[in-house]
């Protein structure tokens, strides 16, 4: 496909995404299935165009004075990719498979794209209804925080210490030019190029053999700060596909007992193959079975309960830019109610002197610090482990992380702007002995 044809296709796919409010990945996949002539390079290029436009949807619409898919993509080419009017006009020459020529208004706007006088949610590219929530969290820095959330995310990997050492994985993946993580001693990072194309990590021998897993460095930090000890009893209450379960098992050196549970058995489906590939042997999967209480025997016995809570996912917008335009106020209310219920359940399993780690990939106070304050009011036998103590699990890097992160009384907030990770809230609590 020519660059012009790719741009035309991207406009059509983006129109489908907006009209049907569907995930961008699904729309791109469906387009690929019905356009078999498009190669992997074409699909990657289309994904890059569409996701870049979605990252900057509000600001591109402001620049172009329109929210139409064509306007969003043209605005993105000027503001994100830095193309001048002539370069954009060359793509839109009206030839076969190319977009229609630029109008005079489009030319004028593309010649001098500006966000001067734009509202915070436009400059930060986030839904207007979230402005109050983000202002409460970040104040006048919310635009800068949101701009970092609108940038492309690198590819982060975690070295699985059950099968490899960081230096071994670094050498095996040298052709991809990975860099050691800044905070997690297990992290490797691959920055993306200008085209945003991601390397096929899951095809790499290091991944196939279980030596590395794809996992954001912030997610890795959350599991490390939870500090699971070898030989201990640990419950991963919202295990899902098992990303943090795998890391907990490695941190425990396959010693002790780790229970993986999720309220939705469908989310647990990938965990079986992942555990086998990673060489994990100390995990017992407790899948839900009708109305049976499959965790009743664990009450009051766990040294650590990890709650990787379902949330709005506002901290992952770098990786899921389409999701931020689909989230609605009703979803936030549903999530906070669900989180409170899960936390109340989690308390049952923590033994005296045990710990509860609460983690979200959200930046919103109501899903994070607000939930911890509510839990402490109901359960005064719990207290927050001070961040000065919690970060010691990272060794010398921990103190630097604490300075970089937003240090709240209820826990640590990681953000792309502050720590270069996805947005994560991490709170570790201890129950009185």
Contact call for residues 302 and 354 (beta carbons, < 8 A): yes
| 345-357 pLDDT, tens digit each | 999 999 999 999 9
Q: Is 370 helix (H, G, I), strand (E, B) or coil?
A: helix
Bridge partners of 406, per DSSP, are 413
pLDDT at 422: 97
Q: What does the block give as tokens for 110?
A: 């593309």
Pairing of strands 233-236, 424-431: unpaired
CA gyration radius, the chain:
23
pLDDT at 111: 94
Q: Is 388 helix (H, G, I), strand (E, B) or coil?
A: helix
Domain with CATH 3.40.50.150 in the chain: 221-431
pLDDT at 38: 84
What sign for the dihedral angle of Cα 180, 183, 185, 186? negative
Tell me what the pLDDT averaged over the chain comes to.
95
Is residue 412 over pLDDT 90?
yes
Q: Write the CB contacts of 408 (distance below 8 Å, at least 6 apart in sequence).
A: 368, 369
Contact call for residues 234 and 259 (beta carbons, < 8 A): yes
DSSP at 78: H
Is residue 329 over pLDDT 90?
no
- Burial string for 212-235 (b: 16+ CB within 10 Å, else e) reads bbebbbbbbbbbbbbbbeeebbbb
| Strand blocks (E) in 92-230 | 155-159, 179-180, 187-190, 212-214
Q: What does the block give as tokens for 121?
A: 């949610």
Q: H-helix or E-strand containing 44?
A: helix 40-55
Q: What does the block give as tokens for 412?
A: 């640590």
Residue in 60, 92, 238, 361 annotated catalytic: 361
CATH of 3-112, one of 1.25.40, 2.80.10, 1.10.8, 1.10.940: 1.10.940
Q: Which residue has the tokens 């103190």?
A: 399
- Separation of alpha carbons 336 and 340, rounded Å: 6
pLDDT at 195: 66
Q: H-helix or E-strand containing 358?
A: strand 350-360
238 is known as an active-site residue = no
- Separation of alpha carbons 426 and 95, rounded Å: 53
| 20-72 pLDDT, tens digit each | 988 999 999 999 888 888 888 888 889 999 999 999 999 999 999 999 999 99
DSSP at 363: -
Contact call for residues 155 and 173 (beta carbons, < 8 A): no
**What is the percentage of the chain residues whose pLDDT exceeds 70?**
99
- Mean pLDDT throughout 220-242? 97
CATH number of 221-431: 3.40.50.150
- Mean pLDDT throughout 118-127? 96
- The verdict on whether residue 262 carries a ligand-binding annotation is yes
Contact call for residues 367 and 343 (beta carbons, < 8 A): no
pLDDT at 409: 97
Q: What angle do CA 60, 64, 66 make, to 5 degrees?
A: 90
Q: How many residues does the chain have?
A: 433
- Mean pLDDT throughout 252-257? 98
pLDDT at 232: 98
- Burial string for 397-432 (b: 16+ CB within 10 Å, else e) reads bbeebbebbbebebbbbbbbbbbbbbbbbbbbbbbe
Q: What does the block give as tokens for 74?
A: 């043209």
- The verdict on whether residue 30 carries a ligand-binding annotation is no
- Separation of alpha carbons 406 and 82, rounded Å: 32
Contact call for residues 174 and 230 (beta carbons, < 8 A): no
- Separation of alpha carbons 198 and 209, rounded Å: 20
Nearest to 180 by CA among 198, 159, 205: 159
Pairing of strands 302-308, 283-286: unpaired
- Mean pLDDT throughout 302-330? 94
Contact call for residues 232 and 355 (beta carbons, < 8 A): no
Alpha carbons within 13 A on the beta-carbon side of 19: 9
- Mean pLDDT throughout 85-109? 94
pLDDT at 139: 95
Q: What is the pTM of this model?
A: 0.93
Is residue 194 over pLDDT 70?
no
**Where does the pLDDT of residue 192 fall: very low under 50, low under 70, confident under 90, or very high at 90 and above?**
confident
- Mean pLDDT throughout 156-161? 98
Domain with CATH 1.10.940 in the chain: 3-112
pLDDT at 197: 75
């Amino acid at each position: 496909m020519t660059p012009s044809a790719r741009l035309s296709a991207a406009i059509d796919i983006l129109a489908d995404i907006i009209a049907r409010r569907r995930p961008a990945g699904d729309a791109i996949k469906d387009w690929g299935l019905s356009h078999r002539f498009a190669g992997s390079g074409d699909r990657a290029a289309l994904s890059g165009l569409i996701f870049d436009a979605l990252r900057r949807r509000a600001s591109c619409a402001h620049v172009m004075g329109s929210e139409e898919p064509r306007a969003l993509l043209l605005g993105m080419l000027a503001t994100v990719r830095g193309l001048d009017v002539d370069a954009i006009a060359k793509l839109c020459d009206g030839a076969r498979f190319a977009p229609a020529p630029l109008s005079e208004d489009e030319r004028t706007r593309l010649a001098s794209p500006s966000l001067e006088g734009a509202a915070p949610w436009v400059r930060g590219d986030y839904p207007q209804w979230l402005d109050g929530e983000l202002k409460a969290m970040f104040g006048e820095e919310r635009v800068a925080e949101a701009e970092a959330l609108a940038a492309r995310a690198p590819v982060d990997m975690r070295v699985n210490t059950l099968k490899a050492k960081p230096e071994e994985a670094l050498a095996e993946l040298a052709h991809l030019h990975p860099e050691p993580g800044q905070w997690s001693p297990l992290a490797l990072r691959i920055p993306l190029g200008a085209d945003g194309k991601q390397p096929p990590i899951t095809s790499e021998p290091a991944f196939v053999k279980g030596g590395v897993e794809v996992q954001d460095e912030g997610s890795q930090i959350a599991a490390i700060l939870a500090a699971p000890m070898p030989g201990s009893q640990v419950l991963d209450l919202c295990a899902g596909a098992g990303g943090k379960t795998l890391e907990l098992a490695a941190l425990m050196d396959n010693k002790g007992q780790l229970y993986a549970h999720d309220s939705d058995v469908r989310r647990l489906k990938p965990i079986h193959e992942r555990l086998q590939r990673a060489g994990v042997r100390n995990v017992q999967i407790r899948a839900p079975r009708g109305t049976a209480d499959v965790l009743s025997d664990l009450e009051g016995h766990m040294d650590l309960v990890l709650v990787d809570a379902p949330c709005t996912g506002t901290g992952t917008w770098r990786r899921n830019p389409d999701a931020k335009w689909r989230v609605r106020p009703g979803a936030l209310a549903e999530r906070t109610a669900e989180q409170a219920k899960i936390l109340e359940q989690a308390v049952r399993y923590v033994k005296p002197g045990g710990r509860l780690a609460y983690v979200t990939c959200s930046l919103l106070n109501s899903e994070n610090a607000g939930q911890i304050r509510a839990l402490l009011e109901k359960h005064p036998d719990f207290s927050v482990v001070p961040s000065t103590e919690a970060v010691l699990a990272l060794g010398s890097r921990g103190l630097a992380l604490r300075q970089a992160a937003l240090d709240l009384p209820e826990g640590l907030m990681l953000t792309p702007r502050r720590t270069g990770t996805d947005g994560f809230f991490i709170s570790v609590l201890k129950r009185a002995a």
